[in-house]
Amino acid sequence: MNNAWSNLDWAIARSGGFTAFALLALAVTVGLALSLKWQSPARWPRLINNELHNFLTLLSTVFVGIHVLAVWIDPFTHFGWYEIFIPFLASYRTFWTSLGIVALYLGIAIGTSTLLRPRIGYRWWRRLHVFTLLIFACTAIHGIMTGSDSTTWWGIALYVSCILLVGVCVIVRLNKWMQPAPEKRVPPARKPETQRFQPGSVPGQPYRQPQTTYKKN
């Protein structure tokens, strides 16, 4: 019975980790696409939007919680709460496990900054959002170095596809950032048109022909 429960719990921990990583890759990709102002074709619905980015991020966070909880209660690993939530205290592959913990706290910090965005301003929120790439890198290394399925063909395919997807978007984003901003063309100033007025006319009013009066003899 204990062996069956351990196998089930470990399967939940592994699947939760892989699902969270894939959703994180999609969330980062959509965020980079938004920064690049990529849009769907004109005839398609607008799929790339902030709502999709927020939904993928939230769903990834849910599976991170499932992954952490399953690892915590796994009877085989025997992780204590301090090994789960404090970096560099885990007995199993200390450094690589700590990268996952650091990524978790960075994700909490960025999520908090999103809630505080009206207070801290858009500029600081956008600067903090750059750390999302660090979260993705730490998560990828954590999964590759600690996961028991990292050497399987499907595990390698998942990691390679997610890293390539995010990497291509990052390269395109950096290329756009390094390009000089286009110069704004200022149209030449037009000379003011001189209005011709008839003698005796008032500017801004239509010209009226003066009436001539004749005196009776």
Cα–Cα separations (whole angstroms), residue 55 to 31, 37, 58, 85, 99 = 12, 19, 5, 25, 24
Write the pLDDT tens digit of every residue in 135-185. Answer: 999 999 999 999 889 999 999 999 999 999 999 999 998 888 777 766 666
Within a domain: 200? no
Judged by DSSP in three states, 38 sits in: coil
Q: How far does Cα 148 stand from its chain's mean position?
A: 29
Number of domains in the chain: 1
Within a domain: 29? yes
Give the span between the Cα atoms of 113 and 124, in whole angstroms: 9
Within a domain: 61? yes
Within a domain: 139? yes
Write the pLDDT tens digit of every residue in 98-137. Answer: 999 999 999 999 989 988 888 988 888 888 889 999 999 9
Residue 1 above 60 pLDDT? no
Percent of the chain with pLDDT over 90: 41
Give the torsion sign (CA, 80, 83, 84, 86): positive
Within a domain: 54? yes
Within a domain: 171? yes
Q: Alpha helices of the chain — where are they, by DSSP H?
A: 2-35, 50-73, 81-85, 94-115, 117-120, 122-129, 131-146, 153-178
Write the pLDDT tens digit of every residue in 48-97. Answer: 788 888 899 999 999 999 999 998 888 777 788 888 899 999 888 899 99
Q: Supply the range of the domain harboring residue 35.
A: 2-178
